[in-house]
Structures are given as C-alpha cells and as structure tokens.
Amino acid sequence: MDRSYFNTEIETLDRGGLDALIEERVRYTIRYAIENSPFYRKWFEKHGINPTEIKTHEDLLDLPVISGKTIQENQPPETNEFMFRSVGWEDVFTIHETSGTSGTPKSFFLTWEDWVNYAEKYSRIFMSQGFGHGDRVVVCASYGMNVGANTMTLAAKQLGMTIIPEGKCTFPLRIIEIYRPTGIVGSVFKLLNLARRMRAEGIDPQESGVDKLVVGGEAFADESRNYLSEIWDCPVYNIYGSTEGTMCGECNEISGLHVPEDFVHIDVYDPHIEKFIPDGECGRIVLSTLLPAGARTGNLLLNYDTEDTTLVLTRKKCPCGRTHMKIMTPQREAETVWVEGTPFNRVDMERCIFQRENMNYLTGEYEAFLYGEEDGETILRLSMECENPDTCNRDLIEENFIRTFFRSRSPLSRAYEAGTFKILFNFQGPKGLDLNKINGRPKRLVDRR
C-alpha cells in the first residue's frame, strides 16, 4: 500500500476518470432508489420525473431538493413505515437518530456495508493527515447515536492505529502519561481545556508525545486553530462528518476539506433563489448518496439539504496528489444571526476573540447573547473568560475585537457608530461563565431578540 493514500487508484484518479466514475454511480444509485426506496418511488412519480433519464451528475441538479423536514414527514408517527429505509429490517445493522431539537428526530438506518464505506472515508482522511500504523489516538467524541466516533474506530482498524475511546476530554491525565497518545480528536475548546489541565499538573502539552490534533463536529476560525496549534506545538486538522455520510477532511496541506466524490456527491444551493450556484459562491451543502454497482445502503438520499453552508474551493489536483474537490469548512446556518441586514456567526465571533494579543489574557471561552430593545436598538452582550481578571488588558481586547469584527461589515459599523447596534463587553474569571452550568455542548451565540 502507498502510505500516502488509503485507496491510491480512487484518490488520485484524474478528473475525467473521476467524473466518469461518478456518472456510473449516479445511474446505479437511481436504479437502486427505484427498486428499494419507498420514498423515491413515490417521489419520482409525484414530480413527474422519469428516473431513467437521470444519467449524469448534472441531471441531479434538475431534481427537487429535500430537507430534514421531508424525512420527518415520511417516518412514524407521520407515516406507518420509514419511507427512507431502503433495505429490509434483517439487513439493518444500526439505527441512528439525529437533530431532534425541532420535532421528531430524523431516523437513519445503516447496513454493515454502510459502516465499511464510512470507515473508508475516514481512513482516507486519517492517512492524508499523516496517521497510520502505530499511532495511538484518543477520541473525545460521543459513542452514542452519533456515528463519528464509531466510524473513526473502524477506520483505525483498517490503518493499524490504536484507539483510546474516552468519549470526553475530561479523562484522567494518566492516560496521556501512561499510553503516550500521538493524536487526539476533540473540539477546539475541549483541547484547550485539556492543555490547561495538563499544565496545571506540571505536564507540558508540547512534550506529551501528541503530534497531531483533529478537530471535528464544529467549524472554527483560523485564529483559534493557530492558537491551539501553538499551545500543543503540532498541526491541527479539520474534519466534517454526518450521519448522512459526508465525511470530508483536510489533508496535510490544510487548504480545504477533500470530498470523497466517489461516495457522496455535493452541490451548493442557494435557497433564497432556489438555484444551484457556481464554484466559489457560498450556499448550502446539498448531498446525494453515490453507490458502487451492486452495493446496498440503509438510507438513500438524493439532493438532501444539510442546512450547512460552504463553497467549493477547487476541483484541481491538490499538491498532496489527491484529485477530489475541496470545500471550505462547513458552517451550520442555524448558528448565523442577522443584524442590520448583515450576517455573522459563532466562527466570526471566535475570529475576533482569538486575536493573538488577546490570548495573552483570555482562555478562549466565551458566550454571546443578542438582545433587541423596543427603541430599535440591538445589543450584543459578550462575556469572555480571563486567566486573571485583575491583570486582564480589557481595553486591548475590546479594541482588537471591534477592529476585527467591523473590518468587513460596513452596515454594522455604521449602525455601531450611530448607536443602534451596541456591544457590551463582560469579563469573567475561570469558570465564571453561565455555560459552565450547562451540561453538553453549549450554544455560544444565542439570539434572544
């Protein structure tokens, strides 16, 4: 095996060959949908679609877009059967639920074959980041209904890696000292908190043996990546995955996430104009399952709106040798707020907070709330955690935040100068933020208008 790639032939296939493979899989996937998916049999008929005419990936662009709501409307209790399930119960290996915050959770059914394919996607990502035989990796991600941690564990088996399945970053520090892991998977904040715990116990993260960090499950700013990399003195890689099967990841070039185009087809869609948009423009990720000839899947999705936003960075060959396209780090549209016609989200906040000068005083932990006043004013109340509130240079931090935040937001800058948009800064000591009282992953930017 070429130690640079997990599947050399597919990962380095030239664009013409890759497009031909995609079209072959589009045709088989559509045929599979007709024969095995109760939802798509009715869906094609309802929309007057002749599925035999869907032969290329461009043909997918002419199909209607479905959403999570579509899945919810086609499963119990709305229907008697799970209409998206595309194998018999005897072939379902695991059942998963996702995103139940707004109604009934969406149900997903995975076959063992799905798990094998998911694991290959992560195997490719891990190898592109330099992981391989002999690596010991602590996984600080949930092993419950979420597929990510289990998929990484299966991928490790294929690569000869050892997984330490902690599930959380609050594990005892003896794990670091005894097993000397070479990598850790977690969120930016979990990994920063772990480094603080280690330093408090006299363990230098830079001397711990960890030489790679992988951040998954959330978007993050380059500024927070750079600071995390500085603290641990190692590269920080980004991955993006979902129960639906996206599984994209950065290679060692760290210049965008490679999409496994032979397994999942991604287009970018603007819901406001209800059209797919060109490479380089930002919109929602719309994915379609792609099946190799003869393969089976528990859940088939065509033109599924993930409600995550991204843009296609390039379809050219990467310096790493991979030919699969690269996308910008996806962000959850639900984490975006609008003020004075201008959007911003959690990642934008972190870009401002993690300015390097600020990090001489801050831990990176923060929480922000938007309030709307009766007189039309909008107030952003931002609380940040300081290492030491008594010595924290608050003026410097506020100036850096305001300069960075308004750099590309002229309408908001004018509203700030006019007094219709205000930012109130609050500084707390360690563990002084309200989010420390909440179990689970906190929502750091909350719109209370």
Total count of domains within the chain = 3
| pLDDT tens track for 57-114 | 899 999 999 999 999 999 999 999 999 999 999 999 999 998 654 568 999 999 999 9
- In terms of domains, do 325 and 351 share one? no
Confidence at residue 298, expressed as pLDDT on a 0 to 100 scale = 97
Contact 307, 341 (CB under 8 A): no
Query: Is residue 120 included in any domain, yes or no?
Result: no
CB 188, CB 228: distance < 8 Å: yes
Residue range(s) defining the domain that contains residue 167: 130-234
Three-state SS at 224: helix
Q: Is residue 311 part of a domain?
A: yes
Is a pLDDT exceeding 70 seen at residue 309?
A: yes
Sign of CA dihedral 27, 31, 36, 37: positive
Strands of 378-386's sheet in order across: 421-428, 378-386, 362-372, 445-447
Statement to judge: residues 77 and 135 lie in one domain = no
Q: Is 125 helix (H, G, I), strand (E, B) or coil?
A: helix
Residue 29: give its domain's CATH number.
Answer: 3.40.50.12780
Q: Are residues 339 and 443 in the same domain?
A: yes
Name, in order, each residue with C-beta under 8 angstroms of 350's C-beta and a sequence gap of 6 or more: 188, 220, 221, 223, 224, 364, 366
Q: Do 323 and 341 belong together in one domain? A: no
Query: What does the alpha-carbon distance between residue 37 and residue 33 come to, in Å, rounded to a whole number?
Result: 5
First to last CA, the chain: 56
Kindly report the number of other CB atoms within 10 A of residue 233's CB atom: 13
Map residue 300 onto helix, strand or coil.
Answer: coil
pLDDT of res. 182 = 98
As beta bridge partners, residue 85 has 299
Give the residue among 28, 29, 21, 16 at the shortest CA–CA distance from 288: 29
| pLDDT, position 1 | 45
Check whether 211 has a pLDDT greater than 80.
Answer: yes
Query: Of 184, 215, 234, which residue constitutes the final position of a domain?
Result: 234
- 122 domain-assigned: no
Same domain for 350 and 321? Answer: no
As beta bridge partners, residue 359 has none
- Paired tokens of 280: 């380089």
Judge if 249 and 104 occupy the same domain.
yes
Question: Does residue 192 have a pLDDT over 60?
Answer: yes
pLDDT (tens digit, 9 = 90+) per residue, 376-435? 899 999 999 999 999 999 999 999 999 999 998 888 999 999 999 999 999 999 989 988
265, β-bridge pairs: 288
Residues 211, 286, single domain; the answer is no
Asked whether the beta carbons of 427 and 384 are under 8 A apart, the reply is: yes
pLDDT at res. 2: 52
For 224, phi then psi, to 5°, come to -70, -35
In a domain, 396, yes or no: yes
Q: For a pLDDT cut of 70, what percent of the chain falls above it?
A: 98
Assess whether 421 and 277 both reside in one domain: no
Domain assignment present for residue 38? The answer is yes
Do 300 and 381 fall within a single domain? no
Task: Tell which of 329, 345, 380 closes a domain.
Answer: 329
Domain-located, residue 125: no
Kindly report the pTM of this predicted structure: 0.92
Radius of gyration of the chain (CA): 23
Chosen domain end from 234, 258, 292: 234
Q: Residues 30, 105: one domain?
A: yes
